[in-house]
């Protein structure tokens, strides 16, 4: 495998030129020589980057308007496949790979490929801000979401969460070299083209948020493996809208995070995924969902966020009923 056969794929939109330029510079420094840039409704001429980076091998894909991350990454991956990519490295436009990130991923991939078929294998770069459980030294069973959870909540986790807030429940802070995950984000995901042949492209009906969760679920559901490689660091230049570190708790992220459309699509899609993919025992899933909604209602009343609560309830209902696609009430 040569670096010339590895294509990076990124999706940009709005006014994010400065972020994208930093991402491109760092990715090129890792030895990448082909980058698919998907213009997903940017407010500037993205094609100007071709002359700005003459030796970068930039391939431009224009979506015409913002069609969401699922459609954007699906188009970018498809373009990379058509251009002859043997491996594909997905990156958000605000991801800045650290020095040596790609070599670390390739080394881990080669090791894992000894025991896992390449059409069911992906490795993932490490983003401490988005993987706080890993950064704190939690084991994989705590980092991975339980079956029958709802929006990451499970009643069986309550005793552990209470204990973890005591002096005896302090985290080790020891970050493992690798960790096996059930799902992963697009950001930093590296795989061979045969994986796409096996599991398909991202599902565009998710529009945005959690589309990467559903996409990568197909890998492990087929008996495959997603390996987080902590030596492969990727920095997020911009925080996500509801990242836990910015709020008092996860409920605050949903109730106070900026952007109704973000809250709607995120909650709708997670509700769909939890009910269709993670649900094993229906009663336990129902219990987790009911308790979660009660807590969401309590915090919305306490913080004066009732309108956002009703939006989220509608999103939950749409997700449970399988009403995906673009909602005209929440344009991108």
CA separation for the pair 152, 103 (Å, rounded): 32
Q: What gap in Å lies between CA 203 and CA 205, rounded to an integer?
A: 6
Spatial separation of the C-alpha atoms in residues 293 and 296, rounded to whole Å: 5
Spatial CB neighbours of 245, under 8 Å, sequence gap ≥ 6:
129, 132, 239
Query: Counting beta carbons within 10 angstroms of the beta carbon of residue 255, is it exposed (0 to 12), middle (13 to 18) or buried (19 or more)?
Result: buried
Whose CA is closest to 95, among 45, 195, 173, 26? 26
Beta strands of the chain (E only): which ranges? 6-14, 34-42, 58-62, 87-90, 95-97, 121-126, 178-181, 189-192, 225-236
Helix (H, G, I), strand (E, B) or coil at 59: strand
Instruction: Tell me how far apart the alpha carbons of residues 76 and 82 are, in angstroms, rounded to a whole number.
Output: 10
The helix/strand/coil state of 5 is helix
155-211 per-position pLDDT tens digit? 999 888 888 777 776 777 788 999 999 999 999 999 999 999 999 999 999 999 999
pLDDT computed for residue 242 by the predictor: 57
All domains of the chain in start order, with CATH: 3-133+174-236 (3.90.550.10), 244-321 (no CATH)
Quick one: how far is CA 103 from the chain centroid? 22
| Per-residue model confidence (pLDDT) at position 132 | 84
For 32-76, the pLDDT digits (tens) are: 999 999 999 999 999 999 999 887 789 999 999 999 999 999 999
User: Which pLDDT does position 167 carry in this prediction?
Assistant: 76
Per-residue model confidence (pLDDT) at position 91: 98
pLDDT at residue 45 in the model: 94
User: Does pLDDT of 125 surpass 80?
Assistant: yes
């Amino acid at each position: 495998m040569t670096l010339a056969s590895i294509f990076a794929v990124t999706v940009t939109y709005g006014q994010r030129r400065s972020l994208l330029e930093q991402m491109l510079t760092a990715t090129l420094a890792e030895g990448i020589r082909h980058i698919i840039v998907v213009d997903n409704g940017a407010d500037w001429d993205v094609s100007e980057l071709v002359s700005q980076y003459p030796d970068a091998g930039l391939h431009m894909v224009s979506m015409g308007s913002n069609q969401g991350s699922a459609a954007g990454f699906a188009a970018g991956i498809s373009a990379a496949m058509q251009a002859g990519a043997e491996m594909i490295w997905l990156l958000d436009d605000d991801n800045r790979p650290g020095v040596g990130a790609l070599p670390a991923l390739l080394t881990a991939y080669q090791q894992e490929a000894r025991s896992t078929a390449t059409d069911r294998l992906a490795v993932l770069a490490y983003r401490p801000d988005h993987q706080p459980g890993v950064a704190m030294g939690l084991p994989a069973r705590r980092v991975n979401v339980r079956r029958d959870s709802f929006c990451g909540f499970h009643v069986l986790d309550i005793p552990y969460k209470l204990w973890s807030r005591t002096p005896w429940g302090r985290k080790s802070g020891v970050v493992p070299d690798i960790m096996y995950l059930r799902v992963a984000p697009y950001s930093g995901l590296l795989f061979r083209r045969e994986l796409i042949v096996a599991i398909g492209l991202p599902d565009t009906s998710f529009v945005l948020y959690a589309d990467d969760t559903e996409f990568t679920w197909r890998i492990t559901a087929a008996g495959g493996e997603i390996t987080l490689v902590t030596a492969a660091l990727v920095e997020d230049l911009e925080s996500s809208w509801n990242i836990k570190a910015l709020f008092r708790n996860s409920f605050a992220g949903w109730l106070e995070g900026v952007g109704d459309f973000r809250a709607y699509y995120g909650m709708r899609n997670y509700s769909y995924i939890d009910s269709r993919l993670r649900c094993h025992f229906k009663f336990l899933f129902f219990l987790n969902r009911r308790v979660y909604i009660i807590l969401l209602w309590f915090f919305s009343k306490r913080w004066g966020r009732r309108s956002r609560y009703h939006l989220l309830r509608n999103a939950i209902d749409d997700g449970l009923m399988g009403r995906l696609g673009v909602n005209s009430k929440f344009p991108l």
